[in-house]
Structure 1
């Protein structure tokens, strides 16, 4: 029996994540093997996709949910990583990465929280110079003198 084709995330959900992600210094969007991802340099800081039957899915494996479900994965660390990993729905912890958290995106999503998590993920992935730019800090390289 052939697999059904991949379901792509809705354009509305992609646009909502992109509004935050693409406002970050040097962030860019690209198609992933499924869904869309946002990167800084070569690191993915956010990825939206649809978990569905017939394809490998940490979300489906962990929850047993078989209905197509739109999820966002992002990077986290420290206390936030621990809290999100143990928070329960809409969050889940994929076993394939020590720093990635997943979140179901649906009509109940808190979009202020999504924006905050995407921005924090960017901070986790971005080089120090770009993090300083995001924070409105000095952009001179370390060791450079002020004019």
Structure 2
């Protein structure tokens, strides 16, 4: 039996996607998330392990590695949630660095 070429999980708030975690035939795991426009450009220029996704104007991601900073991942996902959530829900979130 052949293994699936794509495996992933998507987190949403309402109809808005907050993040995807997925892997593929290359055995790499990636997480995509939403970012402010100026941060999208910064992630794109940082290079590996970060990348700009091929869909959505505010979608960026990173490859999960042994050296992944999980505190940073938590901050990125929290920010992504706050960008996608209705204002009344985002206002209830304690954001890192504030």
TM-score interval, smaller chain: 0.7 to 0.9
**Distance (whole Å) between structure 2 residues aligned to residue 132 and residue 112 of structure 1:** 21
Aligned to 1:87: 46
TM-score (norm 1): 0.59
**Distance (whole Å) between structure 1 residues aligned to residue 73 and residue 5 of structure 2:** 22
Aligned to 1:129: 88
In angstroms, what is the RMSD of aligned CA positions?
2.1
Between the two proteins, the alignment pairs up a number of residues equal to 95
Deviations 1:66-111 (A, max 9, x none): x311000111113222111211000011222211101101211000
- Does the Cα contact within 8 Å between 2:37 and 2:58 map onto a contact in 1? no
**Distance (whole Å) between structure 2 residues aligned to residue 6 and residue 43 of structure 1:** 26
TM-score (norm 2): 0.85
Q: Which aligned pairs between 1:12-23 and structure 2 lie closer than 5 A? A: none
Deviations 1:3-52 (A, max 9, x none): x42267xxxxxxxxxxxxxxxxxxxxxxxxx3111111111101101032
Q: Choose from 6, 16, 19 the match for 1:46.
A: 19
- Does the Cα contact within 8 Å between 2:40 and 2:58 map onto a contact in 1? yes
Unaligned runs of 5+ in 1: 9-33, 53-66, 137-147
**Bigger fraction of residues in strand:** 2
Aligned to 2:4: 6
Q: Which structure carries more relative contact order (alpha carbon 8 Å, separation 6+)?
A: 2
